[in-house]
């Protein structure tokens, strides 16, 4: 594995490679995850372009070294884990908005773009990416996990917003899964294949994403119910009535107690009904 690391360093420079023990621990372990491996990657590499990712992949394949794509490290499912060691590709430096087409309601971004920063950058146009995962999540990881969030009820999951992808395969070859036009029946649905693939099929380096219109008005309401069944029945009726709900959350007595104790209710104390 060290031969691969040395060759990457010679090709792309010292600054792109880290073997610092703290850096290796940070990229191979998380207190948020229950799927941590005992083994750490041998090196962290920080590419800035698709071409650099391709070069790294070719070298790793040459020496049969595992590759672990890494975004923000916000996964609770062990996506960053390296049970067989290998080289960790930290894509957080690939954080550029490549192109923005407000008229077409789409945007082209590198994999390391943070979704909240992107939404802040384009909000003046009245458009946004309506998903709501961890605020630290990066686009590449969101696609690789087919992420969702509290707004899934109305807006769907990440797969509903990916138009096309640029992906580096294990041998270093670079593919684009389709062109920007939304409607096509030509060929296999490679975009859908890579979305949610958890880094097993290739390394996502760039994406074209569909955007949604920011609602002009929205409101938040709370209601109490005596039983979980009553709460579920109310949710069912609201959906059947066609009320445009973005999110529905249910909190039981235990959750309400925790919110009250932590001060999360803003100084108020909410009575903990059973649902």
pLDDT of 274 reads 47
Tell whether 68 and 25 lie within a shared domain. yes
d(CA 113, CA 129): 12
Tell whether 105 and 207 lie within a shared domain. yes
C-alpha distances in angstroms, 247 versus 56, 114, 209, 250, 266? 41, 22, 22, 10, 21
Tell whether 55 and 105 lie within a shared domain. no
Among 10-14, 36-40, 190-194, 263-267, which is the least confidently predicted range?
263-267
Quick: pLDDT tens for 172-194. 999 999 877 666 777 789 999 99
pLDDT at 94 over 50: yes
When the pLDDT of each residue in the chain is averaged and rounded to a whole number, the result is 89
Look up tokens 């529905």; give the residue. 248
- What's the whole-number mean pLDDT along residues 247-256? 84
Tell whether 263 and 247 lie within a shared domain. yes
**Number of structural domains, the chain?**
3
pLDDT at 255 over 90: no
Tell whether 35 and 70 lie within a shared domain. yes
Of 179, 213, 247, which residue sits at a domain end? 213
Of 187, 213, 239, which residue sits at a domain end? 213
Quick: pLDDT tens for 53-81. 999 999 999 999 999 999 887 776 667 77
pLDDT of 67 reads 95
pLDDT of 273 reads 54
Tell whether 205 and 140 lie within a shared domain. yes
By percentage, how much of the chain surpasses pLDDT 70?
A: 90
- What's the whole-number mean pLDDT along residues 249-271? 76
Tell whether 102 and 189 lie within a shared domain. yes
Of 62, 90, 118, which residue sits at a domain end? 90
More confident residue, 193 or 35: 193
CATH code of residue 6: 3.30.43.10
Residue 102 has phi, psi (to 5 degrees) of -60, -30
d(CA 201, CA 178): 16
Tell whether 206 and 235 lie within a shared domain. no
Tell whether 190 and 164 lie within a shared domain. yes
By percentage, how much of the chain surpasses pLDDT 90?
A: 59
Look up tokens 């998380």; give the residue. 30
């Amino acid at each position: 594995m060290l031969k691969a690391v040395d060759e990457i360093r010679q090709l792309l420079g010292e600054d792109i490679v880290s073997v610092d023990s703290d850096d290796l621990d940070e990229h191979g372990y998380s207190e948020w995850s229950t799927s941590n491996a005992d083994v750490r990657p041998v090196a962290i590499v920080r590419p800035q372009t698709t071409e650099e990712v391709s070069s790294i992949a070719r070298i790793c394949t040459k020496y049969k070294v595992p590759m672990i794509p890494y975004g923000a490290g916000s996964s609770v499912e062990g996506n960053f884990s390296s049970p067989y060691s290998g080289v960790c590709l930290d894509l957080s430096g690939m954080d550029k908005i490549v192109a923005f087409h407000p008229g077409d309601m789409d945007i082209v971004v590198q994999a390391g773009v943070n979704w909240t920063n992107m939404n802040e950058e384009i909000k003046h146009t009245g458009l946004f990416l309506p998903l709501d995962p961890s605020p630290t999540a990066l686009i590449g990881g969101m696609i690789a996990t087919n992420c969702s969030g509290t707004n899934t009820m109305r807006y769907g999951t990440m797969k509903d917003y990916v138009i096309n992808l640029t992906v580096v395969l294990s041998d270093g070859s670079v593919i684009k899964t389709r062109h920007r036009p939304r409607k096509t029946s030509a060929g296999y649905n490679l975009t859908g294949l890579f979305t949610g693939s958890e880094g097993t099929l290739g390394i996502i380096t760039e994406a074209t994403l569909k955007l949604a219109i920011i609602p002009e008005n929205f409101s938040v309401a709370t209601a109490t119910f005596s039983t979980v069944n009553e709460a579920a029945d109310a949710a069912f009726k609201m959906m059947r009535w066609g009320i445009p709900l973005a999110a529905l959350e249910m909190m039981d007595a235990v959750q309400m107690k925790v919110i009250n104790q932590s001060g999360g209710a803003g100084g108020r104390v909410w009575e903990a009904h059973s649902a």
